[in-house]
Structure 1
Amino acid sequence: MSDNTTNNKRIAKNTLLLYARMLLTMTVSLYTSRVILQVLGVEDFGVYNVVGGIISMFAFINGGMVAATQRYITFEIGSGNKEKLKRVFSTSLQIHAVISILVIILGETVGLWFLSEKMVIPNGRMESALWVYQCSILACVVNIMSIPYNADIVAHEKMSAFAYLSIVDVVLKLLIVYLLMLSPFDKLVVYAVLLLIVQLSVRLVYTRYCKKHFEESSYVHSFDVALLKEMSGFAGWSFWGSLAGVLYTQGLNMLLNVFFGPVVNAARGIAVQAQSAVQQFVTNFQMAINPQITKTFASGNLEQMHSLMFRSARFSFILLFFITLPVLLETDFLLTIWLKTVPDDTVVFIHIMICISLIYTTANPCVIANQATGKVKVYQAVVGGVLLTILPISYTVLKLGAPAYSVFIVHFCMELVAQFSRMYMLRKLINLPIRQYFNNIYIPIVGTVFVSIILPIFVHMQFEEGWLRFIVVGFTCVLSVSLSAFFIGFTKNEREFFLDKGLRILKNGR
């Protein structure tokens, strides 16, 4: 059996395991979001989202190390250097410990001042907001220290660990909802404390799993100065990208709070959860294929690397579009079913944020490919620089009186510019032909989109809002996107592969 066949089977298996995990966690997440919004109320829900976002902003310090840790662990597994793999893991733990200390210092000084002096918090809720804030600091530290262990699981492609251990996470989050409804105390404070306990418990389980299954995950107290400098240098240039990511997520959240108050933060919080739910369909596929992109580069097989990048981008976009087209058409109805109280602006927020997610599906393979090369200096400076402009431009348009959703339009436009920048720089880094990139990715997905939307939009306009229209539109979207993707979005070899698999399934089922 060839290596490519083995790798494809591993990717397929890991994708299925991650989808099983996703379906479980998404179902629980959608249910708990509805209950928590009802129990906390719109204002407290908005307070939780915006206060926790302050600490998330400080986490940008760690953003570069997330990429560095994942890249170096995966690269060393691909190269087969076990001794260096051990040093990489221990060094990454040391760096993350230093970052955790920095986050605590910033959180208890600058962040605390910003919360007390600049944030718009409803009267009488500042004490509760401070509880949420302190819990968020501790939760952030827990997540930072868990990154090397998660990276080790992904690099070894043991996605079954995520699938099985997510059951623990799901059960604990359901328990939170139950306890929150019974609690006679301040529910915002109780929610923050319980979430912290759950995060800590889940992290301990993942750490235990790694130490049991991966030899390199046992910490060795020694300082490899050369490796420390190398990883820190990689992370330093990745800093720009992570800073931009924090500013166009939590930074925009802060901006919306200053201009519009916590009710708009609640709308954004709901939109983010909806976006995250559909995004999981793609994230799971990409998580399964990303290590292979890095490993093919480590082995020097650039042609196979390009092929994986094309497939990842195209399949990711089509898969997300398959899920989001009915959501885009039936957003109002779905929100009415999901939530009893729908904050203003939620619908338009969801529409624009889903479009941003669709654009980013084609960016992820470029990000992973650049990290695989280790040459991130110019790439991160340019792409990070483009994305860093999102916050100041958004501030300017809001200052001029633009509506809240305008900040997401700014994000969408700058994401397009950033993607063209990524493609241009990868042309030399990995010998990526731009024309081949367009022919294998953008032409098929643009054709798929334009052909597949005609029938669903027509059907949507023929019915009044309700279950009948939702079912008919959903069925039409599935049929239209499936056929368009098969004949336009897939290559000839991919069509033959899916036909062969389908015929085998039908034959074995008889």
Structure 2
Amino acid sequence: MNAANRVVFNTGILYGRIIVSVGISLFTTRIVLDALGAEDYGIFNLIAGVIVMLSFLKNAMATSTQRFLSFYQGKKDKVMQAKIFWNSLFFHLILGIVLLALLEFAGLWLFDGFLNIPVDKLEEAKQVYHFMIVNVFFLILSVPYNGSLVAHENMVYVALVNILEVLLKLAIAIFLYHTVGKKLVVYGLLMAGISSVSFMVYALYCMKAYQECKIKNRTGIESSLLKELGAYASWNLFGSLCSLGRTQGLAVILNLFFGAIINSAYAIANQVGGQLMFLSTTMLKSINPQIMKSEGNGDRKRMLRLAMIASKFGFFLLSIVAVPFIFEMNNILSVWLKEVPDYAAIFCQMVLVGSIINQLTIGLQSAIQATGRIKAYQATVGGVLLMNLPLAFLLLKMGFAAYSVLAGYIVVEFIACCLRLYFLNRLAGLPVRQYMDRVILKEIVPLMVLVGTCLLSINIFDFEFRFLLTIVLAAIGTAFAINFWGLCDDEKEIVSKGLMKIKQKITKKKELALNN
């Protein structure tokens, strides 16, 4: 299977996983919110909210291992691939132990009057926090195996494990609904168990399927290689933790000013944003190894072209669903949840706007990773993302409404996008004019069509499930706009070839069925 066909195949597999996982995840959230109640659900997402972001953190950190493995796959160097994997596994083991100790130490301070948690729930919250730490440890340990799967572009197994995790979460939610007693503690314990199950499933498969992961091919720890991997992974981890710290830090700030109940609204916004982001991150996961391998092959021109294609298609894939959600958010939440927390709708809308802006440079992030020169980039962009926290505190201290913190989130996200473009121009020579022509200017007309279609739908129609019609109409109208105004000639050729291959496979299967 050639590179183009593999990207199309892997994208199809991962989108099949999305259809299953998103629907189940949203239904699971409804059950858990109903079973725990708004206060306990808010406390869980305040204390163990990192669990909600596990997939994001895992994918972000796995980029470190995957980048080096894909790079040396491009060079066809199997010896270095084995060295990369085993040194990476050793590094993440040490990192997991260090983070475990740091989080336990931080817990002594967090629960000593800092967090705004009702006294009768304090002991339960502490237990949930300990479970979260176990969860994080297994998450860190599974990163090299996940990176190996992505580097080998084995999206079938990645999708299967993701579906297993989603089904386990659904089973936990159903069990929780019928549990009496300390439901918050039970939920934290069972959620922590999922990461250990995922780690074992990843590890056993990789040790059997890939040469570099087999114990018999284990290599010694090389200080120079460990230093290179450690520096890259540490800066990558710093960037990921800045993004995660921004998300969870806003939860803490909202908690300090408004109490635990508002964290339910914020958690729902992150849940909606996270599930819709799967649409673009799935495509990026398919194309990311090719970006890394192109750099390993010395084909920087192809690497930059793929990065711009990823940014454009990531923007389209998220916007085509997120924009209708923004217009129909009140309707969607009233259908989805039995009781909609205050601020949930406006929080969801603003998180989606920030996510759409992020997609403008989503492929550029991978291209910067491919260069291997990420220290200044992660330090600068990570620092900018964290500036969202003092900005949010200042806004609330000045008496602005709760949603003002997410207005700051949108502004900071736009600044981060500008910095990513600057760094890729500096590190890999991406022409800013070329990026504007191929990405930004090509997105304007389809976005106008998308917004216009949504406005027409909500002003013409009025029934309970109108959001379904709005999404369908927006998707159809935007698809035509993308085809006519959103694609460059080479991108139209890629789409045309992909559709032709799908058509040929369907025709072939029909012929085989008729012959049998």
Give TM-score, length-normalised by structure 2.
Answer: 0.92
Query: Are 2:173 and 1:177 aligned?
Result: yes
Distance 1:395 1:56, change over 3 A: farther
Aligned position for 1:111: 107
Q: In structure 1, which of residues 476, 491, 509 is the aligned counterpart of residue 488 of structure 2?
A: 491
RMSD: 2.5
In the TM superposition, what are the counterparts of 1:22-421 in structure 2 within 5 Å? 22-53=18-49, 66-218=62-214, 220=218, 222-421=220-419
Once the 2 structures are TM-superposed, how far is the Cα of residue 503 of structure 1 from its aligned partner?
A: 6.9
* Aligned partners of 2:64 and 2:147 also within 8 Å: no
User: Please, which moves more after superposition, 334-343 or 47-56?
Assistant: 47-56
Once the 2 structures are TM-superposed, how far is the Cα of residue 283 of structure 1 from its aligned partner?
A: 1.0
* Aligned partners of 1:52 and 1:133 also within 8 Å: yes
* Aligned partners of 1:54 and 1:111 also within 8 Å: no
* Aligned partners of 2:272 and 2:348 also within 8 Å: yes
Aligned position for 1:442: 440
User: Please, which moves more after superposition, 426-435 or 455-464?
Assistant: 455-464
User: Please, which moves more after superposition, 212-221 or 80-89?
Assistant: 212-221
Q: Secondary structure at the match of 1:328?
A: helix
* Aligned partners of 2:361 and 2:417 also within 8 Å: yes
Once the 2 structures are TM-superposed, how far is the Cα of residue 178 of structure 1 from its aligned partner?
A: 2.5
Once the 2 structures are TM-superposed, how far is the Cα of residue 55 of structure 1 from its aligned partner?
A: 8.5
Q: Secondary structure at the match of 1:171?
A: helix
User: Please, which moves more after superposition, 339-348 or 395-404?
Assistant: 395-404
Once the 2 structures are TM-superposed, how far is the Cα of residue 189 of structure 1 from its aligned partner?
A: 1.1
Q: Secondary structure at the match of 1:375?
A: coil
* Aligned partners of 2:325 and 2:332 also within 8 Å: yes
Once the 2 structures are TM-superposed, how far is the Cα of residue 61 of structure 1 from its aligned partner?
A: 11
Where does structure 2 lack aligned partners over 5 or more consecutive residues? 512-516
* Aligned partners of 1:387 and 1:418 also within 8 Å: yes
Q: Deviations over 1:439-470 (max 9, x none)?
A: 00000112211233223202312333522x33
User: Please, which moves more after superposition, 424-433 or 217-226?
Assistant: 217-226
* Aligned partners of 1:333 and 1:465 also within 8 Å: no
2: distance between equivalents of 1:300 and 1:454?
43
Query: Are 2:409 and 1:431 aligned?
Result: no
Q: Deviations over 1:168-202 (max 9, x none)?
A: 32332232123212222311111111112222122
* Aligned partners of 2:62 and 2:146 also within 8 Å: no
2: distance between equivalents of 1:475 and 1:54?
33
> AA paired with 2:481?
S
2: distance between equivalents of 1:38 and 1:228?
47
Once the 2 structures are TM-superposed, how far is the Cα of residue 499 of structure 1 from its aligned partner?
A: 5.1
Distance 1:188 1:215, change over 3 A: same
2: distance between equivalents of 1:301 and 1:358?
29
Distance 1:18 1:347, change over 3 A: same
> AA paired with 1:327?
F
Q: Give % identity.
A: 33
Distance 1:453 1:51, change over 3 A: same
Aligned position for 1:478: 475
* Aligned partners of 2:142 and 2:203 also within 8 Å: yes
> AA paired with 1:287?
K
Q: Secondary structure at the match of 2:2?
A: helix
Q: Secondary structure at the match of 1:341?
A: coil
Distance 1:292 1:496, change over 3 A: closer
* Aligned partners of 1:132 and 1:192 also within 8 Å: yes
Once the 2 structures are TM-superposed, how far is the Cα of residue 223 of structure 1 from its aligned partner?
A: 2.0
* Aligned partners of 2:83 and 2:219 also within 8 Å: no
Q: Deviations over 1:265-310 (max 9, x none)?
A: 1101111111111111111111000111011011011121122112
> AA paired with 2:440?
Y
Once the 2 structures are TM-superposed, how far is the Cα of residue 397 of structure 1 from its aligned partner?
A: 1.2
Once the 2 structures are TM-superposed, how far is the Cα of residue 350 of structure 1 from its aligned partner?
A: 0.8
Task: Say how many residue pairs are matched.
Answer: 505
Q: Deviations over 1:120-174 (max 9, x none)?
A: 1123111211121111110110101000000100011000101223343233223
2: distance between equivalents of 1:344 and 1:84?
54
User: Please, which moves more after superposition, 340-349 or 82-91?
Assistant: 82-91
Once the 2 structures are TM-superposed, how far is the Cα of residue 382 of structure 1 from its aligned partner?
A: 2.5
Once the 2 structures are TM-superposed, how far is the Cα of residue 413 of structure 1 from its aligned partner?
A: 0.9
Distance 1:32 1:54, change over 3 A: closer
2: distance between equivalents of 1:113 and 1:293?
43
> AA paired with 1:367?
Q
* Aligned partners of 1:21 and 1:162 also within 8 Å: no
Distance 1:119 1:445, change over 3 A: same
2: distance between equivalents of 1:503 and 1:166?
29
1: distance between equivalents of 2:54 and 2:288?
26
Where does structure 1 lack aligned partners over 5 or more consecutive residues? none
Once the 2 structures are TM-superposed, how far is the Cα of residue 64 of structure 1 from its aligned partner?
A: 8.3
User: Please, which moves more after superposition, 113-122 or 43-52?
Assistant: 113-122
> AA paired with 1:272?
N
User: Please, which moves more after superposition, 293-302 or 498-507?
Assistant: 498-507
> AA paired with 2:212?
E
